[in-house]
Amino acid sequence: MSQASAISPTRDKDFPEWYQQVVRAADLAENSEVRGCMVIKPWGYGIWENIQKQLDAKFKETGHVNAYFPLLIPLSYLEKEAQHAEGFATECAVVTHHRLEAQKQPDGTTKMIPTGKLEEPFVIRPTSETIIGAAFARWVQSYRDLPLLINQWANVMRWEMRPRLFLRTAEFLWQEGHTAHETADEAIEETKLMHRVYVDFLRNHLAIPVIPGEKTENERFPGAVNTYTVEAMVQDRKAIQAGTSHYLGQNFAKAANIQFLGRDNTKQLAHTTSWGVSTRLIGTLIMAHGDDDGIILPPRVAPNQIVILPITPKPDTRQEVIDACEALATTLRTQSFCGEPLRVHVDKRDLQGGAKNWEWIKKGVPLRLEMGPRDITSRSVAVCRRDQGPKAKEIMSKEDLIRGVTELLHEIQDALLKRATELRDSNMKKMDSLDEFKAFFAEGAHSGFALMHWAGSNEEEEQIAKDMKVTIRCIPLGDEYAEEGKCFITGKPSHRRVVFARSY
């Protein structure tokens, strides 16, 4: 391929279209026949499998266990929690019938007509607080039954009007944690613990630095008392909400009647939490790390961390080269990276080397190794790192590669985090006036994350969002954001800066 880059348009020319083209070029997913839904292809699903496996281990380390709950939620369950239901009402898909009947049409065709109307409609779960709450009400009788620490890996449906693969689709995959506790303090600590798990995972597994913080009242999960978020900046300097953790107080316990006999022998309501991340993390990965040649995958979640490309210019050397590549792969697989065996693939397809090489560049595999007849003789390997340019190549002895391969993967993981951190930090700006704020987010301006003092009302926050399409992404938790100042809208005293940004 002779073109300057594999993806057209480039990020600088048209970032949204670049994103769509990367998803296609990396063979991650495609739109399905069902409007707003996607088919996640094997390479994309392989990323999700690694995210799922590694996060699941963290959940189990913190005492959580997995369960599964129904896809269909009785409408009456949502009606019990009005604030929660109202927050999702416009996104709900509703099942109203339980049977289809074939009916002949005047033109001779047959149509399948829904019959057997349900006495009570079911909502396809947009989230599972209500139906899991009903289960918790059955499971909890005494304080001795608490805490309940449950996680579910599942699909959900929210009827998106403007879908975008991985970022916003009508159906998507996620995990949703749901817990019940004896006291408010225990539930709040659980909420913050899982928030910290997400911060650690984004940073140390996905190489994405996030700003951890709390959502404003306007931006909270429907029905929550507190919502904690991890906000990531991607390369067009917009924000992505990459994960949330909610303290639900006793709101859902009251609606679902999650009661227990307390230590003082009185009936009490449980305090509950919920927390989740979704396949949106894959979209975040693309936008955080991709370049104009495709996606760049952090080694920790890449389906294959290393791909070996046999170079076989002559048919009579093909099997010898493939055998040498397989032997190298077997040796590499005996090593581990971050506690897991190296994931190594030998691409033996009968395709031209250039086509195979560009395919793996677009798919973002961290290390590409090339080996041909001469390399077998010299016991050397050509090593190509995905975090470097497509033509960058280092010749290493096979022994040096085997000794240093895990260090190379750590270098790539660290380089991606460093690059993303520099992008974020160089595009965050402290400002104190409304004029600065307006200029920062003016059409065509560079923008990014604006760190502003805030002491405004919910109505003033909503007006900014309406007028400028800019929202408070979070009230950040770090000490570096704590300082005295005045709100740039109201002039009232403020003790901490908040993060404003445009977002996906």
* Structural domain spans, the chain: 15-92+127-289, 306-408, 428-501
More confident site: 4 or 486: 486
User: Cβ neighbours of residue 286 under 8 Å, at least 6 residues apart?
Assistant: 19, 22, 23, 26, 28, 166, 295
pTM for this predicted structure: 0.96
Q: What is the mean pLDDT of residues 378-394?
A: 96
CB 23 within 8 A of CB 294: no
**pLDDT range class, residue 307, cuts 50, 70, 90:** very high
Strand partners, 301: none
Strands 94-104 and 239-247: unpaired
What would the CATH number be for the domain defined by 306-408?
A: 3.40.50.800
**pLDDT range class, residue 458, cuts 50, 70, 90:** very high
User: Cβ neighbours of residue 66 under 8 Å, at least 6 residues apart?
Assistant: 56, 59, 150, 151, 152, 153
What would the CATH number be for the domain defined by 15-92+127-289?
A: 3.30.930.10
Q: Is the pLDDT of residue 291 over 90?
A: yes
CATH class of 428-501: alpha beta
**Torsion angle (degrees, nearest 10) of CA 36, 40, 45, 48:** -10
pLDDT in tens, 86-106: 888 889 999 999 999 999 999
User: What average pLDDT is seen over the chain?
Assistant: 96
pLDDT in tens, 459-475: 999 999 999 999 999 99
Q: What is the mean pLDDT of residues 346-352?
A: 92
Strands 449-453 and 428-430: parallel
Q: Provide the sign of the torsion angle of the four alpha carbons 130, 134, 139, 143, taken in this order.
A: positive
SS3 122: strand
CB 241 within 8 A of CB 278: no
CB 130 within 8 A of CB 255: yes
pLDDT in tens, 24-73: 999 999 999 999 999 999 999 999 999 999 999 999 999 999 999 999 99
